[in-house]
């Protein structure tokens, strides 16, 4: 059964999208994080370029219907495994401060 509940469409699948997009944009995440660490309180002004590049990368993935379908398929596979085994699979997290 691949029918999605409201919480799956609006919360759980977007959560997978955010995690995967952060992984795929990891070079921009690292550049922004490094800039913020080096700049301190002036990061709002000095890291504007890195922040824009990161946002553009993330939004590009968030607005891609094919990327949504990939993440939906991944979610449905996880849901099917959970229903079959009762064991929730944890996604591997990046060791990033973002």
Domain-embedded: residue 1:
no
Domain-embedded: residue 30:
yes
Boundaries of domain holding 10: 6-74
Kindly indicate the confidence band of residue 96, based on its pLDDT and cuts at 50, 70 and 90. very low
Alpha carbon distances (Å) from 27 to 8, 9, 32, 69, 87: 29, 28, 9, 24, 33
Q: CA–CA separation, 26 vs 29, rounded Å?
A: 5
pLDDT tens profile 47-80: 999 999 999 999 999 999 999 999 999 999 999 9
pLDDT for 98:
45
Give how many domains the chain has, as a whole number: 1
Residue with token string 């699979």: 89
Domain-embedded: residue 52:
yes
Domain-embedded: residue 31:
yes
Q: CA–CA separation, 42 vs 28, rounded Å?
A: 19
pLDDT tens profile 6-63: 999 999 999 999 999 999 999 999 999 999 999 888 888 899 999 999 999 999 999 9
Domain-embedded: residue 93:
no
Q: Which is nearest to 2 in space by CA: 93, 61, 51, 73?
A: 73
């Amino acid at each position: 059964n691949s029918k999605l509940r409201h919480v799956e469409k609006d919360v759980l699948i977007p959560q997978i999208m955010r995690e995967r997009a952060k992984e795929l944009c990891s070079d921009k995440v690292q550049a922004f994080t490094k800039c913020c660490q080096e700049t301190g309180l002036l990061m709002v002004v000095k890291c504007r370029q890195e922040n824009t590049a990161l946002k553009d990368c993330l939004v590009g993935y968030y607005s891609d219907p094919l990327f949504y379908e990939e993440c939906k398929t991944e979610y449905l596979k996880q849901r099917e495994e959970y229903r079959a085994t009762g064991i929730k699979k944890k996604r591997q997290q990046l060791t990033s401060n973002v």
